[in-house]
A = this chain, B = another copy of it.
Amino acid sequence: MEVFLNGHFIPEERALVSAFDRGFLYGDGLFETVRVAHGRCFRWEDHLERLARGAAFLKLPLPSALATWSGYADELLARNHVEEAVLRLILSRGPGTRGYSPRGADQPTLVMSLHPAPPGELQNPPRWRLATSSVRLPVADPLSQFKTCNKLPQILARAEADASGADEALLLDSEGRAGEGSASNLFWIQDDVVCTPPLAAGVLPGITRKVVLEICQSLALPCREAFTTPSRLHRAQGVFLTLSSLGVAEAVALDGIPLPQSNLTLKLTAAYNRMLLSSRDHLRY
């Protein structure tokens, strides 16, 4: 596999960054995970827009105009002869002197790499067992609105889920409300309404979260932002998670207790997959 690194396409074993890169030292960067279907990057503009908002917040310079990045992604797919994949894009602040001050670090690092698309999810959504994590999301954390490279809380949560035999962790906020998965947004169906926590609760503004809310609107399915707790999730009509690499994943159990299944999840999954496969929204940034 070839990797894009700062303007060059190189074999992945030679995709190396400086040990003085602030991404490596402090997680001083941002990333995106983009689904590639039929050779097209799904919701490319949305991903770049989120990355650009994060870069503005962190005052992290862009190494080149965003409009040129779609050409890099296209060439990466072509060189690797890949049509179905997950594209990971990382922007770090690049090498700097010792210390937290970003002063003088103005040579950002940009990496794009391709990873296998999850197998077989287009027919049926994956069925995930969830485990409530002991890791809490801080309320009102401004960094929660960006996909930063500071992911130790999510890594700890996911490792807990691994250890308990679950597929994904459910993180609560410091007030005990259900926030999001370690790498996914949370949805549930209550009184025939599709619900998800508001962004103000400190959850990531997921691109797939946004797409699912758009689908609900287009199908005239009632949806709203709301709060819930693990015990209320057990009484919901259905629970699912959204993430760009995979789309929609059905939650079949939480902390070892089965969750109710809803046909709505299958309907939303099918609509999402139709959109993914018919999308022509690639490379128009």
Chain B residues with Cβ below 8 Å from A97 are 115
- Judge whether A155 and B17 touch: CB under 8 Å: no
Q: Is A111 close to B, CB under 8 A? A: yes
- Among the listed B28, B99, B138, B183, which residue makes an inter-chain contact with A100, where contact means beta carbons less than 8 Å apart? B183
Given contacts A59-B159, A162-B101, contact A152 B20 (CB under 8 A): no
User: Which residues of B sit under 8 angstroms from A115, Cβ to Cβ?
Assistant: 97-98
Contact of B90 with A158 in the complex, beta carbons under 8 Å = no
Closest to A86 in B: B98
Complex interface bits, A42-74 against B, C-beta within 8 A gives 1, otherwise 0: 000000000000000011000000000000000
Give bound CA distance, A217 to B128, whole Å: 55
B-contacting 9-mer, from A142-150, A193-201, A203-211, A221-229: A142-150
Nearest residue (CB) in B for A183 is B100
| A185 within 8 A of partner (CB) | no
Copies of this chain, complex-wide, total 2
**A16 contacts the other chain (Cβ, under 8 Å)?**
yes
The reply to whether B20 and A12 form a contact with Cβ atoms under 8 Å apart is yes
Q: How far is the CB of A167 from chain B (nearest CB, A)?
A: 10
A19-B101 CB under 8 A given contacts A25-B31, A152-B26:
no
* CB < 8 Å neighbour of A153 from B33, B111, B143, B151: B143
Interface status of A238 (Cβ within 8 A of chain B): no
| CB 8 Å contact bits of A1-38 with B (1 = contact, 0 = none) | 00101000000100111111111111111010100000
Does A279 interact with chain B (Cβ within 8 Å)?
A: no
The CA of A115 and the CA of B20, in the complex, are separated in Å by 11
Query: Which A-B residue pairs are the 6 nearest by beta carbons?
Result: A27-B27, A16-B16, A26-B151, A138-B138, A150-B150, A15-B19
A-B contact pairs, 7 of them (CB 8 A): A25-B31, A58-B155, A59-B159, A88-B98, A98-B115, A100-B158, A150-B152
Interface of A with B (CB < 8 Å)?
3, 5, 12, 15-29, 31, 33, 58-59, 86, 88, 90, 92, 97-103, 111, 113, 115, 138-139, 141, 143, 148-159, 162, 174, 182-183, 245
Other A-B pairs, 15, CB within 8 Å; known A17-B21, A100-B183, A102-B162? A3-B19, A15-B19, A17-B18, A23-B24, A23-B25, A24-B92, A25-B90, A25-B149, A26-B149, A26-B151, A27-B149, A58-B152, A86-B98, A99-B158, A101-B159
